[in-house]
């Protein structure tokens, strides 16, 4: 009898917990008028994030390498966003060591303050066996520059601004950083390094960052 009571209480508790987690407590008004930076925004997840934030009334600065696509994304944001909203872009290559600082300087110039920084860019890695060749090492260096170094630099440059606005830093990662996969060793390594440095609350970011693995987040 006692065992049945324990099981019933456990099931009830789990049901309440799951139900609580499924409740949508998001208030769209918390985003309206906020200043948002989104990297890797010319296509894919970054592009769709730009549209969603525009619909919610945010001011947006997007960046990627391809200027033509960025212009198209900004034009659509203007169509679906607030009429008096701010919608800007800057074409940058995150393989350039100076790109992160250029991005933040441009954000301060066009948006003023910064409330949300969403780091979504990534250098794709072509499948291949690790042979220790010159090509392997070149790919490794480029992958870490884009997928790790630039993330740390952008976060470092925005720390003060996000603390002032009590904003949020959102980092897009990959399950490849948690479960290494064959033939993409440099990519998996860069994502694992990214997850480690954020999970260690580097420079005490514990108040305002999310680390996303596809649809999951850790805070």
20 is catalytic: no
Residue 168 near residue 154 (C-beta atoms within 8 A): no
Q: The tokens of 12 are what?
A: 């009830």
Instruction: Tell how far CA 178 is from the center of its chain.
Output: 17
Point out the catalytic residue in the list 53, 116, 187, 198: 187
Cα separation of 43 and 26, whole Å? 26
Distance (Å, whole) CA 138 – CA 118: 27
CA distance linking residue 126 with residue 140, whole number of Å = 11
What is the C-alpha separation between 124 and 176, in angstroms, rounded?
12
What are residue 36's DSSP bridge partners? 60, 116
DSSP H or E run through 213: strand 209-213
Which residues of 150-208 form beta strands (DSSP E)?
168-172
Asked if 132 and 81 count as a contact pair (C-beta separation under 8 A), the reply is no
Number of separate helices (H) and strands (E) present in the chain: 7, 7
The catalytic residue positions are: 187
């Amino acid at each position: 009898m006692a065992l049945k009571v324990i099981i019933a209480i456990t099931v009830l508790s789990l049901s309440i917990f799951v139900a609580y987690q499924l409740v949508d407590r998001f208030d769209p008004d918390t985003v309206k008028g906020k200043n948002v930076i989104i990297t890797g925004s010319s296509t894919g997840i970054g592009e769709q994030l730009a549209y969603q934030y525009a619909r919610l009334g945010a001011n947006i600065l997007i960046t990627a390498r391809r200027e033509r696509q960025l212009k198209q994304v900004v034009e659509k944001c203007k169509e679906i966003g607030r009429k008096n909203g701010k919608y800007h872009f800057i074409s940058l290559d995150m393989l350039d060591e100076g790109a992160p600082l250029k991005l933040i300087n441009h954000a301060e110039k066009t948006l003023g303050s910064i409330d949300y920084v969403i780091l979504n860019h990534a250098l794709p890695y072509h499948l291949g066996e690790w042979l220790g060749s010159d090509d392997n090492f070149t790919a490794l260096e480029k992958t870490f520059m884009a997928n790790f170094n630039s993330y740390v630099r952008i976060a470092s440059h925005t720390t003060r601004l996000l603390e002032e606005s009590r904003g949020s830093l959102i980092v897009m990662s990959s399950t490849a950083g948690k479960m290494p996969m064959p033939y993409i060793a440099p990519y998996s390594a860069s994502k694992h390094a990214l997850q480690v440095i954020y999970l260690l609350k580097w420079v005490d970011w514990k108040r305002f960052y999310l680390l996303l693995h596809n649809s999951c987040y850790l805070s």
